[in-house]
Structure 1
Amino acid sequence: MRSFERQLLTFLGAALLAAAPAPALAAGAEEDAKTLFARGRELRGAGDCERAIIAFRSALEIYPEGLGALRNIAECEEALGLYASARRDWWDLRRAALQSTEAKYAGWSEDAEARYRALGSKVGTLTLEVQGAEGRQVRVALDGKPLDPRLLGVELERDLGAHTVELFYGGAAPLTERVELTPGAHRVVSLTVPPPVPARDAPAAPIAPAPRSSSSGLRTGGYVALGIGGAGAVAAAVALAVRAGAVSAVEGGCAPSGDGYVCPPSLQGDYDTGRTASTLFGVFAGVGLVGIGTGVTLLLMSPSSPPAAQGASAAQGAPAPRGALPSAELSLAPWPGGVGSRLRVRF
């Protein structure tokens, strides 16, 4: 059969079912309920009340007017020791029998009420309490099912046996307590919410080192500039000495020619060395002058210690306090084969 034909037949069947009279549907439901009811009676007769309850429940869902299924459920639960469940079903049967107009259910409300009261001394109760939950979101579960907060502190009928109470309060794991209900027992389970864990003290912020004063930066820059200038001066002096030696060799072995000299090939190297030394002298001399000038300027710009403090330090023979202006001295002196330089800085 093609898919289209199958869908068409399904649609027609649903339309016919919807068009069927309500009494016909009710009759079909009643017949199915009778079949399930009979199956439940067989299981109960065989001593299998647990499976019989399932069959009776199915029959009652299909045909709620069949109160016999509800009565058998209550009787099976009572036989299994499920007194709390039996009491609820006996009370439901009492209410349904009072509303029914079927003659066969006459007197059932009185029987159901009598059984309900008779089981009152056998049923166990649980009262759940939560302490320390002021202003906190908590949730209680009984046997894995959430408990309505309005039922906290209320005596609850529960079947005999073990029950698990869980308190969820936002911790890593819920608080759990197991309680065993015995016939007629009235147990109170009180759970206390642990106090909130105090937040750890925030680690103290590391103390940042105090920034150096601008005067310290000026002094440091001045020392660096003086060092560079001194090195440039020394290099210029060396280049000057090398040039002087080369000039002396050229003048002694070369013949003057116009603005230059005519040198034999053996003195060409001295001639080139002299020219290179002249160029380097100009570079290093410029670096030395700029460095020394910058260093001295920076040192002069940095504030010095008060004269009184300097005088006291000098009188006591102590070194000058930090912040005192250092003195620098650059001198050029004759040196074998040329001119030498000397840089002295006193702090």
Structure 2
Amino acid sequence: MRFFERQLLTLCTAALLAAAPAPALAAGAEEDAKTLFARGRELRGAGQCEQAIIAFRSALEIYPEGLGALRNIAECEEALGLYASARRDWWDLRRAALQSTEAKYAGWSEDAELRYRALGSKVGTLALKVQGAEGRQVRVALDGKPLDPRLLGIDLERDLGVHTIELFYGGAAPLTERIELTPGARRVVALTVPPPIAARDAPAAPSAPAPVPSSSGARTGGYIALGVGGAGAIATVVALAVRAGAVSAVEEGCSPAGDGAYVCPPSLQGDYDTGRTASTLAGVFAGVGLVGIGAGVTLLLLSPPSPASAAQGAPAARGALRSAELSLAPWPGGLGSRLRVRF
């Protein structure tokens, strides 16, 4: 039953308030406003304008028709150096006095306009601009209060002193700037939205490594040429050995005929022909060997080191082929070949 009793009491109270005559309610509000107004006058007389403004504001909220509270607010703000706030309240007082039918407020609109214009040279103005916010949700706060986006770029009158501007753009912390307004100064603050993190902190694409001359083809060709040259050298040695054997047989069984010629019996004609053929082949194989080894050594000496060898440093360089030499020299019974390689 308690719940229904409370509901009934609430309904009755609402009905009584609705039935109460409006003049009675207005009279009560006016009396409360007068009490607060008197408290504000005491504080102002004691030099405590900041506390007095609070009392006057409360009185004005309770009874907006009491324009004396608004006038005292404007005068206190002017005394505190809050010229921009005072100008706004003087202009509000001018408009309210023009609308009022109370005889006691006659001439107040003219007084308010004079004070409004007199403070024009003392206020500072501030214009805020936002750059780089295309397609992004941003929010600007001035002295801790959100700023209507429609006011961006417009000169705003603000009280003298330090003001804090914050730009909220979705980052971990807002961009913050503090500026100081002096009498008659006009400040323009441009806030630049940082680029998105993905575009700002993305790692740079790795640059392509400098082209390294390929050494595998030249070195492979060098080794092949050395192999051919080595095979030619071996074939030369074999041909020279065959020739030596044939020459020995011809010298033992044939008679010299002068000018390096021999008179041989028919049975030794084959050895004689073999010796001549072997001598010819030895010259051919020796040429092939010289050309192959020379080309192979040249390719190996001119080819750049491999990347692995360059990274490892000196050990690989010390093992590289430096020079090679193939020479033919007369040996007993024919030609001999000699291969010298330096590392």
TM-score range, shorter chain: 0.5 to 0.7
Distance 2:202 2:180 in 1: 40
Q: 1:268-287 alignment to 2 at 5 Å? A: none
Does residue 200 (structure 1) correspond to residue 185 (structure 2)? The answer is no
Alignment of 1:54-133 (within 5 A): 54-133=54-133
Identity %: 89
Aligned residue in 1 for 2:179: 179
Aligned to 1:22: 22
Find the residue that maps to 1:122 and give its secondary structure. Answer: coil
Q: State the AA in 1 paired with 2:57.
A: R
Q: Distance in 2 between matches of 1:201 and 1:6?
A: 69
Indicate the RMSD between aligned Cα atoms, in angstroms: 2.2
Q: Map 1:1-347 onto structure 2 (within 5 A).
A: 11-197=11-197, 198=199, 200=202
Q: What is the aligned partner in structure 2 of residue 273 from structure 1?
A: none
SS of the aligned residue for 2:50 comes to helix
Unaligned runs of 5+ in 1: 205-347
Q: How many residues align?
A: 203
Deviations 1:126-181 (A, max 9, x none): 11111222232221111111111111110001111111111122222211100111
Do the aligned partners of residues 12 and 171 (structure 1) sit closer, same or farther apart at CA in structure 2, a change above 3 Å counting? closer
Q: What letter matches 2:174 in structure 1?
A: P
State the AA in 2 paired with 1:135: G
- 1:135 and 1:128 map into 2 onto residues whose CA distance is 19
Amino acid corresponding to residue 55 of structure 1 in structure 2: A
CA change 1:9–1:148 in 2 (3 A) is closer
In the TM superposition, residue 196 of structure 1 has moved relative to its aligned partner by 2.6
Please state how far the C-alpha of 1:201 moved relative to its aligned partner.
Answer: 6.0
Change over 3 Å in CA distance of 1:16–1:156 after alignment to 2: same
AA aligned opposite 2:110: E
Greater displacement, 27-36 / 129-138: 129-138
CA deviations 1:202-224 (Å, max 9, x no partner) are 999xxxxxxxxxxxxxxxxxxxx
Tell me what 1:258 maps to. none
State TM-score, norm by structure 1: 0.55
Closer, same or farther: CA 136–32 of 1 in aligned 2, 3 Å: same
Distance 1:152 1:11 in 2: 48
Distance 2:13 2:138 in 1: 52
Does the residue aligned with 2:179 lie in a helix, a strand or coil? Answer: strand
Please state how far the C-alpha of 1:10 moved relative to its aligned partner. Answer: 5.2
2:41 maps to a residue whose letter is: R
Deviation at 1:100, TM superposition (A): 0.5
SS at match of 1:65: coil
C-alpha change, 1:134 and 1:7, in structure 2 (3 Å) is closer
The answer for unaligned runs of 5 or more in structure 2 is 207-343
Match of 1:313 in 2: none
| CA distance in structure 1 between the aligned counterparts of 2:48 and 2:150, rounded to whole angstroms | 37
Q: After TM superposition, give the deviation of residue 6 of structure 1 in Å.
A: 6.7
